[in-house]
């Protein structure tokens, strides 16, 4: 299952875009969020050198129907908010995706990571576009589960090679040393690792 990291530019008329753009050095971490019937509710950690103007700007917004300050220090505040414009939450809900938290918003841009089937990722990006949000994809990765590809002996030798530093740059262990540690012939170690590398690389490329 692939994992995608996206940088989403939020619509300019939404409160979080305007507040974060007005305070570009502030960081907004969404720790919890869920869509209600007509609003969205979230828990937000705000970090800024000058907090009162940031919190005040949020409280002044018409699309913020409730704002509760739970705790605050000199540069960090924890607030609970309710908004009538939960566009990112709605996009996630319409695509049927679990929202991975926390995610960060800074200067009008949200940085989110989503793990889901490719059709759901595609549905999510379509929803973003439908709600007027542009985005850049930093990466899409599909992790290879080596344990499902390899025999027990191949997995053991691979683990030994990694632990010994055979795959480090520069190498901390030669093939001869690895074979001696594993108690196999050098030719056997070489052939086994070649088969391991072939399986993992082909699986990665095909994915």
Same domain, 83 and 41: yes
For tokens 């090679």, what's the residue?
161
The domain total for the chain is 2
Same domain, 9 and 51: yes
Same domain, 134 and 40: yes
Same domain, 90 and 187: no
Q: What is the pLDDT along the chain (207 residues), one digit of tens a residue?
A: 678 889 999 988 889 999 999 999 999 999 988 877 788 899 999 999 999 999 999 999 999 999 999 988 889 999 999 998 887 777 777 777 766 789 999 999 999 988 887 788 888 888 888 888 899 988 887 655 555 678 888 889 999 999 999 999 888 999 999 999 999 999 999 999 999 888 888 776 765
Q: Using CA atoms, how far apart are residues 92 and 109, in angstroms rounded to an integer?
A: 16
Prediction pTM value: 0.66
Tell me if the bond preceding 14 is cis, omega within 30° of 0: no
Q: Using CA atoms, how far apart are residues 18 and 109, in angstroms rounded to an integer?
A: 11
Angstrom CA distances, 181 to 57, 176, 187, 196, stand at 64, 9, 14, 18
- Three-state secondary structure readout of 123-149: HHHHHHHHCCCEEEEEEEEECCCHHHH
Among candidate residues 117, 142, 167, the one where a domain is terminated: 142
Same domain, 138 and 166: no
Same domain, 155 and 132: no
Give 200: exposed, middle or buried? Use CB within 10 Å, 0-12, 13-18, 19+.
Answer: middle
Q: Using CA atoms, how far apart are residues 111 and 89, in angstroms rounded to an integer?
A: 14
Among candidate residues 142, 169, 192, the one where a domain is terminated: 142
Same domain, 133 and 53: yes
Domain that holds residue 151: 146-206
Q: Using CA atoms, how far apart are residues 163 and 167, in angstroms rounded to an integer?
A: 9
CATH number of 189's domain: 1.10.10
């Amino acid at each position: 299952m692939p994992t995608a990291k996206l940088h989403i530019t939020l619509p300019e008329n939404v409160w979080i875009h305007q507040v974060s753009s007005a305070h570009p050095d502030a960081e907004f971490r969404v720790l919890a969020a869920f869509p209600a019937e007509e609003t969205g509710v979230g828990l937000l950690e705000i970090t800024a050198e000058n907090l009162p103007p940031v919190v005040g700007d949020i409280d002044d917004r018409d699309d913020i129907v409730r704002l509760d300050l739970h705790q605050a220090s000199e540069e960090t505040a924890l607030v609970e908010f309710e908004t009538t414009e939960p566009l990112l939450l709605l996009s996630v809900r319409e695509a049927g995706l679990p929202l991975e938290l926390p995610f960060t918003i800074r200067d009008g841009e949200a940085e989110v990571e989503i793990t889901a089937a490719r059709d759901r990722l595609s549905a999510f990006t379509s929803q973003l576009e439908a709600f007027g949000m542009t985005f850049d994809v930093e990466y899409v990765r599909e992790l290879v589960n080596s344990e499902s590809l390899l025999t027990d002996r191949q997995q053991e030798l691979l683990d030994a090679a990694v632990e010994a530093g055979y795959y480090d740059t520069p190498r901390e262990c030669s093939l001869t040393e690895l074979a001696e540690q594993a108690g196999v012939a050098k030719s056997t170690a070489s052939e086994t690792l070649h088969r391991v590398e072939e399986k993992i690389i082909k699986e990665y490329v095909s994915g």
